[in-house]
Amino acid sequence: MPAETQNPSHFPVMLPQVLEGLRIRKDGGYLDGTLGRGGHARAVLERLGPEGRLLLMDKDPEAIVSAERLFGADARVAIRRGSFAALAEWDATRAGLDGVLFDLGVSSPQLDVAERGFSFRNDGPLDMRMDPTSGESAAQWLAHANAHDIADVLWTYGEEKLSRKIAAAIVMDRETAPFTRTSQLAEMIARVVGRGDSKIHPATRSFQAIRIFINRELEDLERGLAAAHERLKPGGRLVVISFHSLEDRIVKRFIAGHAKAPPGNRRMPAPEHFSPSLREIGGAQRADDAETALNPRSRSAVLRVAEKIGAPGAGAGA
Ligand SMILES: C[S@@+](CC[C@H](N)C(=O)[O-])C[C@H]1O[C@@H](n2cnc3c(N)ncnc32)[C@H](O)[C@@H]1O
């Protein structure tokens, strides 16, 4: 058995539901915007015939290297490093897509390799970028951001109740020594927040918040959903797995906004004729007990599926 299939945290999350949601046709064209270590991609590829096509994207250069190794020799596969927010700018998507998958958040290798700087458990440089070659690292941002902005990020993306206290401590402590290591930040937060009786590490919410901010995860999601919608052919499927409520809210609203007419309002002019362009398939789905017992990460997963509706020919690029 390959090493990566022995560790439950490396199982692709909600795989049967993803495959059912994508409703794969052997000759279809699919895009996995969050390739990671390729678990979902491999399963999609196994269901494609020789005429099928699989486009793979990830922001993370290491995911791209591993994809080249795993799938590079397969003529049905094309690989591109970049955010799924820009998927419609990739020429390969111009012909239109039969399915798009986003399995959001960070991958096991990103969390497990201390050097990537995502983990408060394993000490590493305070980085947190999915693409370490672009933008500011967490350390760079925390070195200059003001207390108000830091508190805002911790509250908005982490719902951290002690956001102001933590932000003030960061700004004060960095006068003596800049924050450069994950353990340094995690220990400081644990001191400020205290252990309490919670089972989760006191730095969990703050690390999540800083990661979401540094990687512009919610902005990318909004843009990625719009780009997927643009490129899906009629009958094509959008499948998104979210891991926290902020992401799921964006996905839910996006689907609803394209599936249902906005509710009427006596004080507003009547909306123009609404023509739905998505159909929601089922509601929010969650991992079953067997999966959550095996893979704790799947406990917070929420999967949503939508189908593009519209005139034939829509979805393919101009
Ligand atoms: C949860 S993992 C995906 C795991 C993958 N489905 C598998 O089976 O191995 C999420 C991956 O998406 C990537 N990612 C997150 N946001 C992205 C974005 N906006 N554009 C491209 N890749 C992104 C991360 O770098 C990470 O590798």
In this structure, of 10-19, 87-96, 247-256, the range with the lowest mean pLDDT score is 10-19
Residue 309, phi-psi category: left (phi > 0), alpha (psi -120 to 50), beta (remainder): beta
Does the pLDDT at position 283 exceed 70?
yes
Q: What are the tens digits of pLDDT across the range 184-215?
A: 999 999 999 987 767 789 999 999 999 999 99
Does the pLDDT at position 2 exceed 50?
no
In this structure, which residue's CA is closest to atom 19 in ligand 1? 83
In this structure, which residue's CA is closest to atom 3 in ligand 1? 36
CA dist., res. 81 & res. 90, Å (int): 10
Query: Pocket of ligand 1, candidates 35, 66, 112, 225: which has the most ligand atoms within 8 Å of its Cβ, to mutate?
Result: 35
Residues with CB under 6 A from ligand 1: 12, 33-34, 36-40, 57-60, 63, 83-85, 103, 105-107, 130, 220, 224
CA of 213 to the centre of ligand 1 (A): 16
CA dist., res. 207 & res. 167, Å (int): 13
| Residue 5's pLDDT band (cuts 50, 70, 90) | very low
Which residues make Cβ contacts (< 8 Å) with residue 83, sequence separation at least 6? Answer: 57, 59, 220, 223, 224
Q: Which of 147, 149, 151 is nearest to 163 (CA)?
A: 151
- Please give the pLDDT value at position 273: 81
CA dist., res. 76 & res. 94, Å (int): 16
- According to DSSP, the residues that pair with 254 across neighbouring strands are none
CA of 99 to the centre of ligand 1 (A): 16
| Residue 312's pLDDT band (cuts 50, 70, 90) | low
Query: Pocket of ligand 1, candidates 4, 58, 216: which has the most ligand atoms within 8 Å of its Cβ, to mutate?
Result: 58
3-state secondary structure of 235: strand
CA of 36 to the centre of ligand 1 (A): 5
In one letter, which amino acid is 177?
A
